[in-house]
Amino acid sequence: MAESVVLKNISKTYRMYQSKGQQLADLIFPGKKGSSFHAIENISFAVEEGDVVGLVGINGSGKSTLSNIIGGLIPATSGEMEVNGEVNVIAIKSGLNNALTGAENIEFKCLLMGYSKEKIAKVMPDIIEFSELGDFIYQPVKQYSSGMKSKLGFAISVTANPDILIIDEALSVGDQTFTDKSLAKMLEYKKQGKTIFFVSHNLSQVRNFCTKIAWIEGGKLREFGPTNVVMRNYSAFLKDYNKLTPNQQKEFRDQLATQRKNQ
């Protein structure tokens, strides 16, 4: 099998400031004010065509940052990445323009993908049908619920038929019928040997659907490997984590966050 995504020491660092003044000062004297925060740090793994990779980890671990880098939505600060094929990201956190209607978003995304006016007119009814949004398709996206946004994002990406599909939590907000329909579509993609990244907190979906898992903790790759192996370890970790009180969980996350900061 050919490799479809290869990551070598991928990192993403943000500058964090205590005030607007610090931010301005840092522009004039770079590196003197504020601190660095490593959203992800030195992540390396290789994924083959046909792999379905679950990206798991507790809140804030860096899953969306990594998927946005693989999807080309944000640049890495350092590291090397090889992505063989066209990528499409479906995320509940980003991707749609709130000021535009659903139909305008479809048109806009299609134009970005290089579709001609004729091709857009041809795919538009299929996208609208898959989205199940009915007349809401002519309303501005800012009036949509997160489930509706996810439906629209999913419908556009599925019609785009990319080689590599990244689904970031998009199945956690829709209704069951839509989730089932989307999972069926993803199974079809899996059978066609496409590569899928699946960001999810739903462990049974990850277990049933993914061939491999990348477990991210505190911005670092804690484990990457076959689903059964990594899931066993991640489930054991979560069992312990879930025994902590909300305050203890926050302390644990704060500790990890402290390790991700430098001056």
Ligand X SMILES: Nc1ncnc2c1ncn2[C@@H]1O[C@H](COP(=O)(O)OP(=O)(O)OP(=O)(O)O)[C@@H](O)[C@H]1O
Position 60 contacts ligand X (CB under 6 A): yes
* Residue 220 C-beta: closest distance to ligand X, Å: 12
How many chain residues bind ligand X (CB under 6 A)? Answer: 11
* Residue 68 C-beta: closest distance to ligand X, Å: 8
Beta carbons of 152 and 129 less than 8 angstroms apart? no
Tell me the two tokens of residue 257: 């966050």
Among 4, 33, 54, 65, binds ligand X (CB under 6 A): 65
Footprint of ligand X on 9-38 (CB under 6 A): 14, 37
Position 57 contacts ligand X (CB under 6 A): yes
Footprint of ligand X on 37-56 (CB under 6 A): 37, 39
Which residues contact residue 16 at a Cβ distance below 8 angstroms, ignoring those fewer than 6 apart? 34, 35, 36, 37, 261
Q: Which stretch binds ligand X (CB under 6 A): 19-27, 57-65, 171-179, 220-228?
A: 57-65
Q: Which is nearer to ligand X, 64 or 105 (CB)?
A: 64
Q: Which is nearer to ligand X, 61 or 88 (CB)?
A: 61
Which residues contact residue 102 at a Cβ distance below 8 angstroms, ignoring those fewer than 6 apart? 128, 131, 133, 136, 137, 138, 139, 141, 144, 152
* Residue 1 C-beta: closest distance to ligand X, Å: 28
10 Å CB burial of residue 243 (0-12, 13-18, 19+) is exposed
What residues make contact with ligand X under the rule CB under 6 A? 14, 37, 39, 57, 59-65
